[in-house]
């Protein structure tokens, strides 16, 4: 395995080969730290020490008619998660303000379901327009399922500059995890968003029984799609979902997967997404050496590391929170996230709510019980 050759290729903005990507995935655990260090050289070349924070707002949770076997919100899932219909405008506003005050440069608005009706699309477009008016430099990512050209155009006009729709896995593996739609349906939605001038956010979920070749296949498929932001999720095997018995990931394997993604996509935003805390555990700080983007706090249905701890981890590793100021310029600065933390603490002090109880499913996955859709303050 010639890591120096891979780094030289990636520093030139080119992808490593498929054979090299497989070498990384198949490497021994003892080789993981040198691989992370190699990927880290590429990450620092293109992104310096900046970390982009993304904040999830779950507009509608559960009750999805699709049967994606990895998803706790899917049809047939018995996972003991929060289920609720659309948040009120006031609830959305409060969630967004907390994320922004905590340093998030991107707010991700997510609604479960196959895709929005025209009425639902108009509702989300109104939310996007209000956020855009209040925070012109904030990136707004929407994730609503399948889109057609007209709905994508409405989101773009409202101010959504990014759309998330993950490929999740390789085309050859897709029918094993979902039967209510196809891999090509997902590709088509990413292309639809791009036609509307919206930046493509599309990634994968590792740990669903895929082969190493299939992991490489989806990595290169995302490159062919020209995804600008690539979330890498690690399967959370919720009790009550068909994949609840899958436990095939280790911290070292997760770090090699992230490193492979960095070397395939050297100049793109690679985000460590759901499953970071559950699978990478005490090695989480090493994620920052490879990824220039993370989610802050909780995920859609699972609890993440606290926002306070996320910010402390970034500072302790010598990285900086990257935010856009009101003029749209990128700012790096020590102490900025401390000011954000103080702002959030002041905001939370004004809320007459509890923290929410902590609950694990049978597989030890922390269930989100606070934030959007609850009377408890978010995990910040």
240-250: pLDDT as tens digits: 999 999 999 99
pLDDT at 352 over 90: no
* pLDDT (tens digit per residue) in 9-62: 999 999 999 999 999 999 999 999 999 999 999 999 999 999 999 999 999 999
Domain membership flag for residue 367? no
Total tally of structural domains belonging to the chain: 1
H/E stretch holding 260: helix 251-264
Q: Are strands 330-331 and 320-324 parallel, antiparallel or unpaired?
A: antiparallel
CA 20/CA 260 separation, integer angstroms: 9
On whether residue 373 sits in a domain, the answer given is: no
Domain-embedded: residue 376 = no
User: Quick check: 361 pLDDT over 90?
Assistant: no
- For residue 342, pLDDT beyond 70: no
339 in a structural domain: yes
In a domain? residue 281:
yes
Higher pLDDT, 51 or 77: 51
Give the whole-angstrom CA distance, residue 222 versus residue 165: 11
Would you say residue 308 lies in a domain? Answer: yes
Quote the pLDDT of residue 354. 44
CB neighbours (10 Å) of residue 283? 17
Read off the CATH number of the domain in which 167 is found: 3.20.20.70
DSSP assignment of 278-339: IIIGGGGGGHHHH-SEEE-S--SSB--S-HHHHHHHHHHTT-EEEEE-TTS-EE--TTHHHH
Asked if residue 137 has pLDDT above 80, the reply is yes
Is 307:380 a contact under the CB 8 Å cutoff?
A: yes
Is residue 377, in this structure, part of any structural domain at all?
no
Residue 247: count of CB within 10 angstroms of its CB: 11
Polymer length in residues for the chain: 380
Mean pLDDT, residues 91-108 taken together? 94
345 within some domain: yes
Residue ranges making up the domain that contains 257: 3-349
Residues 278-281: contacts with CB under 8 Å, at least 24 apart: 278/234, 278/236, 278/302, 278/364, 278/365, 279/207, 279/234, 279/249, 279/250, 279/251, 279/254, 280/234, 280/251, 280/254, 280/255, 281/251
């Amino acid at each position: 395995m010639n890591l120096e050759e891979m780094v030289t290729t990636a520093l030139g903005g080119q992808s490593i080969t498929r054979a090299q990507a497989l070498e990384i995935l198949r490497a021994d655990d003892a080789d993981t730290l040198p691989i992370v260090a190699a990927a880290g050289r590429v990450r620092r070349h293109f992104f310096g020490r900046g970390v982009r924070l993304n904040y999830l707002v779950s507009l509608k949770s559960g009750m999805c008619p699709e049967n994606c076997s990895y998803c706790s919100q899917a049809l047939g899932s018995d996972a003991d998660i929060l289920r609720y219909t659309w948040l009120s405008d006031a609830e959305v506003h409060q969630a967004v303000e907390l994320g922004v005050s905590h340093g998030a440069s991107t707010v991700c608005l997510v609604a479960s379901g196959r895709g929005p009706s025209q009425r639902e699309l108009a509702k989300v477009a109104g939310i996007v327009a209000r956020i855009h008016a209040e925070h012109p430099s904030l990136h707004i990512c929407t994730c609503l399922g399948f889109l057609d050209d007209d709905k994508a155009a409405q989101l773009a006009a409202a101010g959504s500059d990014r759309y998330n729709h993950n490929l999740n896995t390789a085309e050859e593996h897709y029918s094993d995890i979902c039967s209510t739609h196809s891999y090509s349906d997902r590709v088509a939605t990413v292309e639809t968003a791009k036609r509307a001038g919206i930046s493509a956010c599309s990634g994968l979920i590792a740990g669903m029984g895929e082969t190493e070749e299939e992991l490489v296949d989806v990595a290169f498929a995302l490159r062919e799609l020209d995804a600008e932001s690539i979330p890498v999720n690690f399967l959370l095997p919720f009790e009550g979902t068909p994949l609840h018995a899958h436990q095939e990931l280790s911290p070292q394997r997760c770090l090699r997967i992230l490193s492979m993604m960095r070397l395939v996509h050297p100049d793109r935003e690679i985000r460590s997404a759901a499953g970071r805390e559950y699978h990478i555990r005490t090695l989480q700080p090493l994620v920052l050496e490879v990824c220039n983007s993370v989610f802050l706090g909780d995920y859609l249905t699972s609890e993440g590391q606290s926002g306070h701890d996320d910010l402390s981890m970034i500072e302790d590793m010598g990285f900086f929170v990257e935010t856009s100021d009101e003029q749209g310029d990128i700012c790096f600065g020590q102490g900025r996230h401390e000011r954000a933390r103080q702002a959030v603490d002041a905001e939370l002090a004004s809320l007459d709510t509890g923290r929410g109880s902590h609950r694990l499913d049978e597989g030890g996955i922390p269930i989100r019980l606070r934030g959007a859709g609850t009377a408890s303050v978010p995990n910040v």
